Amino acid sequence: MTPTRHIPVSMLLASLLILLAPPTPHITAATTSPAVDIDQIRSKQWHAAHLGLREAHRITKGEGITVAVLDTGVQPHPDLKQNLLPGADLSDEGGDGRQDRDGHGTGMAGLIAAHGQSQARGALGIAPKARILPVRFKKDSRGGTADGLREAIDFAIRNGAQVVNISSAGAPDVQMQQATQRAAQANVVIVAAVGNMPSDRHVGFPAAYQYVVAVGGIDRSGTHAEVSVIGPEVDVVAPAVEIYSTSIGGRYRVGTGTSGATAIVAGAAALVRAKYPYLPADEVVHRLTATAIDKGPPGRDDQYGYGVVDLVAALTADVPPRGFGSAPASTPDGAGSTTAAADRPRADGERTATVRGLVTLGVLLAAGGAWALFARHRRRSDDPPPRISR
């Protein structure tokens, strides 16, 4: 007979506490990307042609916009270093964020703001004249904590970022959620990855939070990428399969996952902010969703969100403010009801017309103001943006 083994009560209590303790929320990168060496990186960046990047760059290249990349750091790659600002290293190693031993952060920064090395060589980002603020909150693409990410968001806010890129997905965390709210209050656009299958089954955080643009992915054919998580929080999608960008050591890398798609959308947000510098963050997001190319079932769906981000339409379409009905067709000059006054200060000669317009607007607001305020605070799934006829 096996003798009875007596376990001290203290040991039982300790074991129970371990089992009941909530797990520390970790943030994992939403991509896997082996480094590759290629000579003609520009020709490998299929997403650029797919998104009409050349035409978008005739309008703006992201001048004057700072995008914070919250990741593994950003190395001064030859294709990127002219746009790289000193940032912060929030790990225990210290520094200014311009150190990256993993390559993930450097890759995301390149997708956003790589300027290349000549007219046709080197990697090219979505907003090649935007500035990158590197905030290193993890040492590798699978590391990082919610506390570290929260601190990184706050650093980005304090240091003038207009767009924040988070190519990571993790567990919910109250303080991290509060940081995203502070960013929204500070007029900052936050873009985050929804996560990757099969390791993720639901839209991760912070992407699932209300004030964050949740980005999924498409493949080369423009259809839903199998790697991309689906869910009611998805806002827009962008290329996510075989995406080439910068890496450490002056090399290049190819990656598949919603990390790359997120960086592409962050670059798109930078373009919109450069074109319309007086447009508030929530209207920048609205412009991206309202002009997205609808995919799947009509309207918003859990695979594509509002659709594939459309760079040119986001920069040129006439988009009314949120909550004020459907948008008319896009116009060639890019003037829109949310942006006619948002892309430049008013001249003195416009003041008389402005006064008359304000009187009319006051009448409209008296009838519709309460509805507008309500509409702006509804959850995204209940507030489909107006579609753009193209």
* Catalytic entry in 71, 79, 100, 200: 71
DSSP string, 86-155: P-EE-STT-S-S---SSSHHHHHHHHHH---SSSSSS---SSTTSEEEEEE--SSTT--BHHHHHHHHHH
Q: How far is CA 57 from CA 115, 239, 253, in A?
A: 12, 18, 24
Kindly state the helix (H) or strand (E) to which residue 175 belongs, with its residue range. helix 174-185
* Catalytic entry in 104, 115, 224, 286: 104
Rounded to whole angstroms, how far apart are CA atoms 103 and 122?
A: 17
Q: Could you tell me which residues come within 8 angstroms of residue 96 by beta carbon, excluding any fewer than 6 positions away? A: 86, 87, 88, 89, 134
What is the separation, in whole angstroms, between the first and last Cα of the chain? 81
Q: What are phi and psi of 358, to 5 degrees?
A: -65, -35
Site of tokens 């409209």 = 364
Rounded to whole angstroms, how far apart are CA atoms 223 and 226?
A: 9
Rounded to whole angstroms, how far apart are CA atoms 50 and 71?
A: 26
Q: Do the beta carbons of residue 231 and residue 253 sit within 8 Å?
A: no
Kindly state the helix (H) or strand (E) to which residue 164 belongs, with its residue range. strand 163-166
Strand segments (E) across 280-360: none
* Catalytic entry in 235, 259, 286, 330: 259
Q: Do the beta carbons of residue 303 and residue 231 sit within 8 Å?
A: no
- Other CB atoms within 10 Å distance of the CB of residue 326: 11
Active site residue 104: yes
Query: Closest by alpha carbon to 212, among 247, 165, 244, 151?
Result: 165
DSSP label of 329: -
DSSP string, 213-276: EEEEEE-TTSSBPTTB---TT--EEEE-SSEEEE-GGG-EEEEBSHHHHHHHHHHHHHHHHHHS
Active site residues: 71, 104, 259
